[in-house]
Amino acid sequence: MELQRLKREFLEYLEVEKGRSLKTVANYERYLNRFLGESGVLFPGDITDETVRRFRLWLNRQSDGKGGTLKKKTQNYYLIALRAFLKYLARRSIPSLPPERIELAKSPERSLDLISADELGRLLKAPQGSDLKSLRDRALLELLFSTGMRVSELCSLNRDLDLGRDELSIRGKGEKVRVVFLSSAAKNTVKTYLAKRSDMDEALFVRLGRGVPKEGSLRLTPRSVERIVKHYAVKAGITRKVTPHIIRHSFATDLLENGADLRSVQALLGHANIATTQVYTHVTDKHLREVHKAFHNRRCG
């Protein structure tokens, strides 16, 4: 059976049986098309160690469009898609390269951009005033830090939240639903903001001021939220770059520094894999050093 047909069936399997989002399926299709196009393979048996080796070499030499080459992390997206495709072939007992033969490129350890607790406090207090824009922005910042949600998740929220409860369900990556929790500050700022709204748009966070369309949705986009966060970071006197994702990092590190375990943080962040959450182990490592210093080998003191 030809690989093009098998690829199509694999993508349908991802969408229907595995429940992957259309965006994820489109990404897998793009990665596999690149592999099939560059390697020239036509049948499952044509995929060998050598064809994969040549493709990896080609990937490693590709430009990133910024004067450099593709990052190892980006190269791994292609390899993850290929490995998933080979697992699918193996599942159907179609002879090809065993998926375990695909090893991911070793990428440098990810470092976190963080802001201090003092900087975070200044950021959350930066929107001053009782006008609608200030109330919106204060609610937006408080909600980001209270829940640790992704900026895309924040933008998808509607105004019909049940603010009588301390939690809400959100739909995250891969259409997975999880519960996030609201602090008193977040609930109060959202209530105050909504009480001042006079429009009928269903979105929780909407565009205001000049350039707002007379028709269509007023919903803020992730890019707009990024600009809002950047504006208040500058206003708060924070010199480093601040994004909604850095607030998400602050949420996670705050939990860990106060004793939360990594598995709980994984659930709150909506990470499918604990390995993604382990980027925060620098926080727990610091705690372990303090435990070791305080309690180990005290008999020698």
Reported as a single tens digit per residue, the pLDDT across 167-201 is 999 988 877 889 999 999 999 999 999 999 999 99
pTM value surpassing 0.85: no
Please pick, among 136, 138, 150, 187, the residue that the annotation labels catalytic.
150
CATH 1.10.150.130 positions along the chain are 3-101
> Which pLDDT does position 292 carry in this prediction?
61
Contact between 271 and 173 (Cβ < 8 Å): no
Respond yes or no: is residue 231 known to be catalytic: no
Distance CA 272, CA 19 (A): 14
Respond yes or no: is residue 73 known to be catalytic: no
Please pick, among 133, 173, 178, 231, the residue that the annotation labels catalytic.
173
Collapsing DSSP to helix, strand or coil, 170 comes out as: strand
Contact between 140 and 244 (Cβ < 8 Å): no
More confident site: 212 or 79 = 79
pLDDT digits over 230-267, tens only? 999 999 999 989 999 999 999 998 888 888 888 999 99
CATH 1.10.443.10 positions along the chain are 117-290
> What does CATH list as the number for 3-101?
1.10.150.130
**CATH for 117-290 (1.10.10.60, 1.10.1280.10, 1.10.443.10, 2.60.40.10):** 1.10.443.10
Q: Across the chain, what does the average pLDDT equal?
A: 89
Respond yes or no: is residue 248 known to be catalytic: yes
pLDDT digits over 15-57, tens only? 998 888 888 899 999 999 999 999 999 999 999 999 999 999 9
Respond yes or no: is residue 282 known to be catalytic: no
Please pick, among 7, 83, 187, 248, the residue that the annotation labels catalytic.
248
Please pick, among 78, 88, 232, 280, the residue that the annotation labels catalytic.
280
